[in-house]
Structure 1
């Protein structure tokens, strides 16, 4: 396949992963026709979605290359503290400065990731690019010649359909690799005192599930952070008090001024496809895998899917050969991250002295061996390379 040869691509889902793929493909595949479908209108306005996203350094660099990164909207992560709730606990520290990097990643609201990407896409002007906002895809069918017929009110055939519309764990149809963790992630905003170190993210493993505090840009009221508090699914929200939160963050308790507003619940699970490619139908991002947020890597994995897919399509050969190469090249990174997040979600949750000692031993090993700690940090920043 000559990269300048004309073929038709439909991208279903105009979230960050779908938009990142569409933008890169529009620039790298000048002979291809691209149509971007989404059930919502594509108008470049800021989304009201309250979710907060943690991007690793590789994702930040990818958005910078796409011209879709606004640093003023993001708070850099300069240091990560990882520990469990236990006497004599080890506080594992990952620092950008020790790795020779300007930052480990950044935190920002979902709308501040989506809007620059959508505006960059809408800013492209070409008859071969089309935005199909407000058009929900209702049916996909493989034709005899291998193309995919897509129905969004009118049936059209495409050489390749990229599914990038995933939804939340509870909204998805069951996939072959599925695990319900029996946990709920409670998402909200913390108010912090100025004594909280700038750029510090905290991950605490409790018996009920992980607890994360991710720094956000200041607003008019001062310092703040995103709270991701994972608990047993049957835990009542009134049990998630500020006093309990401070008890789980003893070293930082004085800097936590309080929870702002109500916490919102999101049930947690793993739901993944073993293979990304089925004929000319391909899945990336949450359409391929929903992960536990324990390491904050779901969107980062999806953005790497998008980047690698464009690279394979650009490199030449037949379309089917390019898709087979994409499947082969993505597997190590995908499987490593799926295994890591699933293992962390299970091993770092639960009762028992033996389990607590095993968790502590793992953290101490990482703290004592800088090369191993650095390898872990680089995988979190850039994925499997």
Structure 2
């Protein structure tokens, strides 16, 4: 039986895969998405109860995709960030005025973003869903890649984009296995309530175990991401609410008032990894299938969206002049554009963890001095913010808030 032919096949319909599907479909080409969970399935891990901190550049990408207007009401702007080192001197306060933008970033419920992307995908008649379905085998040819999946699915396209987060094992079968290094700690995440307004402030407080981040949400709520040893994290995840809130208050202090309530709590492993080369033949890994970073600076999904923006430029250019989107030269150019940022973010986030968990007195003194230098020097603040907000260097169309129309 002949395969169904598409211009692009995407394995994985989570946040990154759905964003890529919207970008590619908006260019008018035939796109197929294989996703192991049914549309709207609450078990889809990308659409769970966590929140996502979006950079300003990521907001622009979602604007270019026509998605932002659907989540704007639930997106809480981050207007300032307070960074501190528990038990040591040194503080840095960063404000949106230092970056020259309306906000430093935005906090969005993952489920709301997933639902908005799903609605956007469903508006494209040239986008076909195969779900629930999984890709089981991939065969590469000189001019195409063929994918076979569950339910007798057989698809063909010039390029297969892996956006499954590395969970399915498909990348390994295609020679793109992402080797990761597990951190010895885990992240405990929850939503906590306050007795006062958070005034759109975010907090990053470094402890001996790692960062404790509090991000503003709509209402008197904040999203908590607390790095802890696994045993302690599991204890706190199952502890009575009053015991958990007391432990959080002792660790964080009262800078944003009293913590009054807490929702469901989950723990997640923390890893670091990056593919040296994100493609093999006509198979290209994007998002967490290509790189995984510590969430200390909130860069994970933002890196995936930047992959989408850069790949959308590649697709638009190739399709406009009838070039092969799966050709080696074009994919090498894409990989070259993404290499520097993914490497820099990996080194930056891993370095922060090492710096702020070291008990060495000289390191403790150096990081305190570093925080104070950033705090008193506006140029240092602007450099740091523009770098972490994804606004440095050449920006692809979507990262400038423009539709990927290829013009």
What TM-score results when the alignment is normalised by the length of structure 1? 0.88
Q: In structure 2, how many angstroms separate the alpha carbons of the residues matched to 1:305 and 1:176?
A: 16
Shift of 1:155: 3.1
Gaps of 5+ in 1: 1-5
Shift of 1:239: 5.5
Question: For residues 22-48 of structure 1, what are the alpha-carbon distances to aligned partners after superposition, in whole Å with 9 as ceiling and x for unaligned?
Answer: 1111123x3x32101101122599976
Are the aligned partners of 1:301 and 1:383 in contact in 2 as well (CA < 8 Å)? no
Match of 1:363 in 2: 371
Match of 2:356 in 1: 348
Match of 1:3 in 2: none
Match of 1:104 in 2: 104
Task: Please report the RMSD computed on the Cα atoms of aligned residues, expressed in angstroms.
Answer: 2.6
Paired residue for 1:330, among 338, 347, 355? Answer: 338
1:12 to 1:175, Cα distance in 2 relative to 1, 3 A: closer
Question: For residues 49-91 of structure 1, what are the alpha-carbon distances to aligned partners after superposition, in whole Å with 9 as ceiling and x for unaligned?
Answer: 111111111111211222212211111111111111123x222
Gaps of 5+ in 2: 238-243, 394-407
Are the aligned partners of 1:180 and 1:268 in contact in 2 as well (CA < 8 Å)? yes
Question: For residues 129-171 of structure 1, what are the alpha-carbon distances to aligned partners after superposition, in whole Å with 9 as ceiling and x for unaligned?
Answer: 211121111222323x2522211133333210001110679xx
1:175 to 1:85, Cα distance in 2 relative to 1, 3 A: farther
Match of 1:25 in 2: 24
Q: In structure 2, how many angstroms separate the alpha carbons of the residues matched to 1:43 and 1:242?
A: 33
Match of 2:82 in 1: 81
Partner secondary structure for residue 180 of structure 2: strand
Shift of 1:114: 0.9
Question: For residues 294-346 of structure 1, what are the alpha-carbon distances to aligned partners after superposition, in whole Å with 9 as ceiling and x for unaligned?
Answer: 01110001000001001012223443132121111111111111111111122
Q: In structure 1, how many angstroms separate the alpha carbons of the residues matched to 2:303 and 2:25?
A: 21
Q: In structure 2, how many angstroms separate the alpha carbons of the residues matched to 1:137 and 1:377?
A: 40
Deviating more after overlay: 231-240 vs 57-66: 231-240
Count of equivalent residues: 368
Equivalent runs, 1:130-279 vs 2, <5 Å: 130-143=128-141, 145-153=142-150, 154-166=153-165, 175=177, 178-194=180-196, 196-218=197-219, 223-235=220-232, 237-238=234-235, 241-252=244-255, 255-279=257-281
Shift of 1:118: 1.0
What TM-score results when the alignment is normalised by the length of structure 2? 0.84
Match of 1:15 in 2: 14
Paired residue for 1:377, among 371, 374, 385? Answer: 385
Q: In structure 1, how many angstroms separate the alpha carbons of the residues matched to 2:167 and 2:146?
A: 26
1:311 to 1:51, Cα distance in 2 relative to 1, 3 A: same
Structure 1 residue ranges (4+ consecutive) displaced by more than 6 angstroms after TM superposition: 44-48
Q: In structure 1, how many angstroms separate the alpha carbons of the residues matched to 2:281 and 2:346?
A: 23
